[in-house]
Amino acid sequence: MKNTIELLDRYYQSFINQKRDWDFLLGLADYVKYAVETPVIAEILKDIVQKRIEAEESLDRYEKEAIKEIEKVKNKLFRRLKQKKISYDSLSKLMQKYEDYKNRKILTSESDAQTLSGCLKNIIRNLYDNGYKETIKDLIIEERMPHAPLRESKNTYIRGFTCFKNLDAYDDEEKFYNKKRDVELWGAWDGLISIYRLFILNKKKTLEQFRFQKDAYISYATRIHNYLIQELSKEEVEKQIPQLKNSLK
Per-residue model confidence as pLDDT tens digits over 129-166: 999 999 999 999 988 877 655 444 457 889 999 999 99
Give the pLDDT band of residue 21 (cuts 50, 70, 90): confident
pLDDT at 156: 86
Contact, 142 vs 161, CB < 8 A? no
Judge whether residue 10 has pLDDT over 70: yes
237 or 224, which is more confident: 224
Nearest-angstrom CA–CA distance, 47 and 121: 40
Give the pLDDT band of residue 197 (cuts 50, 70, 90): confident
**Mean pLDDT over the full length of the chain:** 88
Q: Which residues pair with 29 in a beta bridge?
A: none
The least confident of 67-76, 113-122, 128-137, 210-219 is 210-219
Give the pLDDT band of residue 241 (cuts 50, 70, 90): low
Average pLDDT over residues 229-241: 78
Give the pLDDT band of residue 32 (cuts 50, 70, 90): very high
Q: Count Cβ atoms below 10 Å from residue 163 Cβ, excluding itself.
A: 21
pLDDT at 245: 47
Judge whether residue 180 has pLDDT over 80: yes
Q: What percent of the chain has pLDDT over 70?
A: 86
The amino acid at residue 148 is: A
User: 120-150: string of b/e by CB count within 10 Å (b at 16+)?
Assistant: bbebbbbbbeeebeebbeebbeeeeeeeeee
pLDDT at 111: 94
Residue ranges of domains in the chain: 2-248
Burial of 67 (0-12, 13-18, 19+ CB in 10 A): buried
Nearest-angstrom CA–CA distance, 144 and 228: 57
pLDDT at 240: 59
Average pLDDT over residues 121-125: 97
Give the pLDDT band of residue 9 (cuts 50, 70, 90): very high
